[in-house]
Amino acid sequence: MIFSRTTQNNRNGRASVALLLGLASIVVVFLLLTFSLRLRPDARRTTADNVQINVYCAAGVARPVEQLVNEFNALMGTHLEIVRTGGSGELAGQIATEFQSGVQRGADLCILADDLLLEKGQNDGMFREVFPLAVQKPVIAVAAGSDWDIQSLSDLVSRTEISYGLTSERAAIGKMARAIAKRDQLLIPLEVNRKTDSENVMTLAQALITGSLDAAIVWDTTVNQLNQGSDQPVLEIAAYVDPQDQIAGRVGLAVLATSSHPTLAIQFARFMSAPDTGGPAFHRFGFVTHPGDHWEEVPEVHLFMGSMFTPVLEERVRHFGERHGVNIYSRWEGCGKLVASIHSINDPELFPDAFFACDTHFMKQVQEYFQAPISVSSNDIVMAIEETQASQIRSPKDLLNANLRIGLCDPDQSALGWLTQQLLSSTPYQALYEKIQEQSAVTVDAGPTLVSQLTAGGLDVAFVYRSNVMADPHLTKNIKIIPLHHSRASQAVQPWAISKSTKNPELMRRLFEMIIRSDTMNSFEKAGFRVKATEKD
């Protein structure tokens, strides 16, 4: 077939255009991908160049921690180093001294075998995050092959021919042994008949091996660790100090508030507490581990949060993600929309890891997917009125036939709309809802939208949460708040719940700890919320 020059040129032209369009499409896709990546949360692989993370570690936990430090450094190219070991009390005292004197390069994180010291450090502001790691039990240990027949703590302290030692109260094991002895009315003979005390369990264990002591109160894991390092067992457990198994030592890792590199410290904490990375090392030395989240260098989580929380929590959630090295995808909307999405999500990777609802009514609709909810706060429904109209309005009844532009929230899409409907349909506002709805100017899905329209002059009055107005101090100058009759319908209660299917329950627990921390709760109160003592619903 012979083509004319004109036809051939036209086809060449169309081919050139098609080629250019194809290249343009590739460029557009590339730019969209680049832009979407920029919209992702800020977590990224930690830069470890020239960064040293200082670790303080309780002597009784040093063996597995040392192994995990080496593994983490090899995996991540980091420089973590155990710079100090000792008894938990000794280390906590050193950290307190550094904290009070403003030392800049002390510990970044510490591992202690005393949950009371960890709790105190958190309450005193020294520790920012605490990761539970493992459990160990106090035992009476003797040298392997020993002839001493010791059946109980009473046996140990009543037989003066036995040379035994325990640590000082500055070490967790010493404090715990004395607490058990006091409970069993054995504290006086325990103190009187001991031959020595020490600052940590490893010193006592070495004394058993060399024969300087006949027996010592140490951790069960101390025996396991020393036996692991020898061809033959060097120690054995003669008896458990607390046979009722009521008291155990809880090992935890704390990230210091003064750490210069908290994200890397937290990343190592997640590595240590993960069952697939930290678990084997702890199990090898006889520790019973606390179940942490599985290891991911940069975890991704999805949060569903009612829109009322945006002014208080949006920035804090972003900072939490940055500090923890986590990608957090937060969705802030009316709870009706969030509940509808929860029911319709088919991809488990997109299902919310936690849900913070505006009211229990909406949490109940999806309770099957979540753990037991915990009430955090409450929020009153109020009438927000443009200042020039305030003198005319005292109650919702005054809105009828007042020729006012009224704003409501949709009862299907938001907790605020549903509660407003309940409130204005019951005593003392019975049957008002339908009448007000008929003359309302606008129905939206969230309170902040109503407030924006009120301040812009599009509405005269709106039914909103108190926090929708008080979250911004500038709004209170031009908007007057009218309280409504106090009832369950006039007050939303905000529950938090973690998904049953989340891969990161411990991460969600720490996020919740951030939410109920005193500084966050103060912000809740300033924004018009009432803070509740956290309790399960």
- DSSP assignments along 289-319, one per residue: EP--PPP-SS-EEEEEEEGGGHHHHHHHHHH
Same domain, 316 and 363: yes
Same domain, 150 and 201: yes
- Mind listing the pLDDT tens digit for each residue in 157-180? 999 999 999 999 888 899 999 999
Instruction: Say if residue 351 is in the same domain as residue 494.
Output: yes
Residue 196 burial (10 A CB sphere; 0-12, 13-18, 19+): middle
DSSP E strand boundaries for 368-473 = 374-386, 406-409, 440-444, 461-465
Q: Are residues 126 and 188 in the same domain?
A: no
Do 279 and 309 fall into the same domain? no
Compute the distance between CA of residue 316 and CA of residue 169 in angstroms, rounded to an integer.
39
Average pLDDT rounded to a whole number, residues 7-13: 41
Q: How many distinct structural domains can be found in the chain?
A: 3
Please state the separation of Cα 411 from the chain's center in Å: 32
In this structure, the answer to whether residues 367 and 408 fall within a common structural domain is: yes
Q: Is residue 165 part of a domain?
A: yes
Which of 289, 319, 351 is where one domain is finished? 289
* Boundary-marking domain end, from 289, 318, 353: 289
Q: Are residues 215 and 285 in the same domain?
A: no
Q: Is residue 18 part of a domain?
A: no
For residues 386 and 500, state if they share a domain: yes
Domain final residue, candidates 203, 219, 240: 240
Domain extent for 80: 53-135+249-289
107 found inside a domain: yes
- The enclosing domain of 156 has a CATH number of 3.40.190.10
pLDDT of 47 reads 52
Mean pLDDT over 393-410 rounds to 82
Encode pLDDT of 516-535 as tens digits: 998 999 999 998 899 976 65
State the Cα–Cα distance between residues 510 and 520, nearest whole angstrom.
Answer: 14
In a domain, 12, yes or no: no
| CA separation for the pair 277, 474 (Å, rounded) | 50
Residues 83 and 109 in one domain: yes
> Is there a domain that residue 29 lies in?
no
Are both 272 and 406 inside the same structural domain? Answer: no
Beta bridge partners of 330: 303
The share of the chain scoring above pLDDT 70, in percent, equals 88
- The answer to whether residue 27 is domain-embedded is no
pLDDT at 104: 67
- Examine residue 320 and state whether it is found in any structural domain, yes or no: yes
Q: Quick check: 244 pLDDT over 50?
A: yes
Q: Please report the pLDDT score of residue 186 as a whole number.
A: 96
Residues 459 and 406 in one domain: yes
* Predicted model pTM: 0.80
Do residue 216 and residue 253 come from a single domain? no
Is 116 a domain residue?
Answer: yes
Question: What's the chain's average pLDDT?
Answer: 85
Query: Can you give the pLDDT at residue 13?
Result: 45
